[in-house]
Amino acid sequence: MKSFLGFLFGLFCALMIVFIAGENPLTILSILIKSSFGSKYDFGLTLFYMTSLIFTGLSVSVAFKSGLFNIGAEGQLNFSAIAMVSFAMAYPQLGMPSSLLAILFIGVLAGATWGALPGLLKAYRGSHEVIVTMMLNFISAGISSYLISQYLQNPDSQNPESAVIAESFRTNSFDFLNQFFPESPVNLFFLVSIATAIAIHFFFSRSAVGYEMIAVGENPSAAERANISSKKFVVLSLTLSGILASGAAMNEVIGYSGQYKIGFSPEFGFMGIAVALMSNNSPLGIIANAFIMSVFHKGASDLDIETETITKDFSKVIQALVLFGVGLQYYINKSGFKINFPGRNSKKKPKGNS
């Protein structure tokens, strides 16, 4: 929770901007809260965003753990979504249990591919993962746009989106969670995301593979000496990262809409970066921070309607300021002034004195 102060700082700055623009910060806060919790529908929508943010937050944090910056969760979830929709369109006749398993497999595989690619290039060709994942974001957007416009376009719609896939590929028919939130998009994958976060928590805190992955992130040369192949783990962690990002695609395609809409993700992949940093890469912290972020995201869309000056993009400003705040928080923790947490970091000694 060290980075929580950073978050508060970011929020404070955002509200100051709002204030300067002539809005009452308290009104803004109340709109935010009403918009996120005001009705079952609203709350369901908040949880729906939260699901995707947990997945992308985990995706980014797993890469961070092994010292990599996955800026490509967006492309990974995008590619996974288009792959799932294309598959379901290609084999519409598949029956229930196998259809669902197959589409899940395709989704995971697509995410894994989009993660493994930068991993392999990083490990074996030394290409910087930030650039490669960024490029892959653009490429997957291009591929989706191509597939939609050429093959998958929904004939009943003016918008660039695919037709709806068959019921057998979706979870709506047996979704008990959704029934509590009528009309709202929250679905079973909310529970999956929570379970995944807990699983990742145990993966890093208990398993040997998780330990080895952290070791590679902390010190690749020492890991190499300890017979932990950093190359292998670079590929593994980015692949896992891609798989986790694909969860956000499943939340949309399998759990909710059953179609690919261009722009269905309001940059969940990038919001995941903020979530991961706020949580200091702790999987359980990601659950909490994904919630906070989804409240802002949901709220910002209503601010657009209910205020004069604020647009729906305003959640980006909040995210940016939160990122800055979290960055500053790291600085304060490192340089060790102002805020000292009792019992921790009290005896840090600067390096290099002999």
Partner 1 sequence: MSEIDILSLSFILSVLRVSTPLIFAAQAGLLSEKSGVVQIALEGFMLVGAFSAAVFAHYTKSSHLGFLMAFGCGAVFSLLFSLLVVRFKTDAIVAGTGFNFLMAGLIPFLTKFLFNSTGSTPSIPVEQRLSFEVTVFAILVVFAIYAMMTKTRWGYWIQFAGEYPDGLTACGVSVNKVRWVSILLCGGIAALGGASLSLFLSSAYSPLMTGGRGFIALSALILGKWKPVPTLIGCLVFGTFEALQIRLQGVPINGVVIPVQWIQILPYVLTIILLAGFFGRSQAPAYLGKR
Partner 2 sequence: MNTNIEIEFSNVGKRFGSLWANRDISFSIQKNTIHAIIGENGAGKSTIMKILFGIYPADAGIVKVGDTEVNFQSPIDAMKYKIGMVHQHFMLSPAHTALENVLLVDPEQKPFEFYFKKEKIEKIKATAQLYKFDIPWDTPVKNLGVGVQQKIEILKLLCLDNQILIFDEPTAVLTPHEIDELLNQLLELKKQGKTVILITHKLKEVKRVADMITIFRKGQLVGSYPSSQLDEKEMAAKMVGKAVSFEKRAFERFPDAQTVITLDHVQFKDETRTFNLHLALQRGEILGIAGIEGHGQEKLIPFLLNPKSFKYSGQVLILGRSADSLGNRGARELSVGVFPEDRLRLGVLPELKAFQNFVLGYQRKSHWFKKGFIDWSKVKTLTQNMFDKFKVEPNNIDLTFQSFSGGNQQKIVVARELFHNPDIIIAAHPTRGVDIGAIELIHEQLIQAQEKGKAVLLISSELDELLKLSDRILVIRNGKITSEHGRADFCEKAIGRSMLGVAP
Give whichever of 157 and 205 is closer to partner 2, judged by the CB atom.
205
Distance in angstroms (rounded) separating the CA atoms of residues 214 and 204: 8
Question: Per-residue b/e over 70-84, b at no fewer than 16 CB within 10 Å?
Answer: bbbbbbbbbbbbbbb
Give the C-alpha distances (Å, rounded to integers) separating 36 from 42, 162, 298, 301.
5, 29, 6, 10
Position among 155, 208, 308, 335 found at the interface with partner 2 (CB under 8 A): 208
Say whether residue 339 binds partner 1 (CB under 8 A): no
Give whichever of 128 and 348 is closer to partner 1, judged by the CB atom.
128
Distance in angstroms (rounded) separating the CA atoms of residues 232 and 216: 10
Say whether residue 338 binds partner 2 (CB under 8 A): no
| Binding partner of 142, given partner 1, partner 2, none, CB within 5-8 angstroms per partner class | partner 1
Which SS3 state, helix, strand or coil, does residue 349 take?
Answer: coil
CA quadruple 84, 89, 90, 95: dihedral sign? positive
Give whichever of 128 and 348 is closer to partner 2, judged by the CB atom.
348
Q: What 8-state DSSP symbol labels residue 21?
A: T
Taking CB under 8 A as the rule, which mask of x and - marks residues 62-101 in contact with partner 1?
A: -------x-x------------------------------
Which among 110-118, 146-154, 156-164, 220-228 is the span making contact with partner 2, rule CB under 8 A? 220-228
Which residues have CB under 8 Å from 305's CB, separation 6+?
Answer: none
Q: How far is the CB of 110 from partner 2 (least distance, A)?
A: 27
Structure tokens at 139: 């490429």
Give the C-alpha distances (Å, rounded to integers) separating 320 from 142, 210, 314, 354.
26, 30, 10, 41
| Binding partner of 211, given partner 1, partner 2, none, CB within 5-8 angstroms per partner class | partner 2
DSSP 41-88: HHHHHHHHHHHHHHHHHHHHHHHHHTT-----HHHHHHHHHHHHHHHH
Say whether residue 136 binds partner 1 (CB under 8 A): yes
Position among 146, 180, 202, 341 found at the interface with partner 1 (CB under 8 A): 146
Say whether residue 323 binds partner 1 (CB under 8 A): yes
Which SS3 state, helix, strand or coil, does residue 310 take?
Answer: coil
Contact 103, 87 (CB under 8 A): yes
Only one residue has tokens 């000694």, namely 349
Position among 150, 173, 179, 354 found at the interface with partner 1 (CB under 8 A): 150
Say whether residue 225 binds partner 2 (CB under 8 A): yes
Which among 128-136, 193-201, 215-223, 316-324 is the span making contact with partner 2, rule CB under 8 A? 215-223
* Residue ranges in 227-246 that form contacts with partner 2 under rule CB under 8 A: 227
Say whether residue 335 binds partner 2 (CB under 8 A): no
Say whether residue 317 binds partner 1 (CB under 8 A): yes
Chain residues in the site for partner 1 (CB under 8 A): 17, 21, 69, 71, 121, 125-128, 130-132, 134-136, 138-139, 142-143, 145-146, 149-150, 270, 273-274, 277, 309-321, 323-324, 326-328, 330-331, 334
Q: Site residues (CB under 8 A) for partner 2?
A: 205-209, 211-212, 214-215, 218-219, 221-223, 225-227, 346-351, 353-354
